[in-house]
Structure 1
Amino acid sequence: MSARNPLLSRHRGTALALPPLLAAFWLVMSGHYTWLLLTLGAASVCLVVWVIWRMQVVDDESLPLRVLPRLPGYLLWLIGQIMLSAVTVLRLVWSPRRKIRPGVGTVPAAGMSDLSKVIYANSITLTPGTLSVSFRNGDIEVHALRAEGVAEVADSAMPRRVEGLEKR
């Protein structure tokens, strides 16, 4: 198998982790454990693994297993930040004195890996009141409901926590 697909030989751990992860995901999402559905689920997992193997897309970038141990803690923290930001946006919108003055600026992300940049940009977008617009010279361009919001994102704990996901 590895002679035919050199990508799998380099990323054997990632390739071997894919079928059990897909099967576990299917079992959790299905919720049905009859013989027929378990057989169809196993067949669908095999089909997906075969298609992925044929496409030669299994690597550490497509399935970054190194972030999985720290991901639940980060997601809990991010949910808390989303809730806090939602309250802040709610106050801005419902305030009798509108203090909404949108601003665009860049947030430094030059020292981050590509995976960390993507997680960071998506986390910024998920947080109400901010939006990742684009990548510029290794930094992330951010739109915020308040001009100070861009600086708040840059000074927050988010970049440190995102980089902490990939620590080995």
Structure 2
Amino acid sequence: MDFLLISIEAINLYNLDENYTYKINSVEIATRLNNLFLIRCGNLLRHPQSYTLYNFKETIKAIYYLYRSVNNFRMQKKISKILKAIYHDNQLKSIKQYLQRFKYIYYKTHNYYNINSKLCFYDKDITEIAILNLYIIHILSRENGIYFLIKYLKSPYYIHKIWNK
């Protein structure tokens, strides 16, 4: 889930400012984005050994905030533009910006500055994860998006369990 949160941050680093500018009377959006920020800062999603500390109620709240944060027109428009450009193999500035932001946030939170992190990916893997997360966020806006997200979040657990046998 942390990679999805990184994707949201990378899509629009200034989402809080934009939402404040466009919807001055709407505190709800800023509150949801602040909650996502606090979830990421809590470091509970980042490490597999912490998953046991992260209870079911908090996970459901994180999924809810994630769903509500990406279900807005501007965010989905940006995601669609990037995904279409990737499909048509265009080298748009927005693709490069998103990938650079994603890599920067990933390296800052997982790799270079985080000694305890056991997850380490190469640039190619990070790029693939970033693009996959865009697609997942795009699917999340559809009717059965929450169901898809829960199935996606559940699947790495089984993969991790199989590898550690």
Please state which band the TM-score falls in when normalised by the shorter chain. Answer: under 0.3
Query: Which structure: greater strand fraction?
Result: 1
What TM-score do you get using the length of structure 1 for normalisation? 0.22
Higher RCO (Cα < 8 Å, 6 or more apart): 2
Query: Which structure: greater helix fraction?
Result: 2
What TM-score do you get using the length of structure 2 for normalisation? 0.22
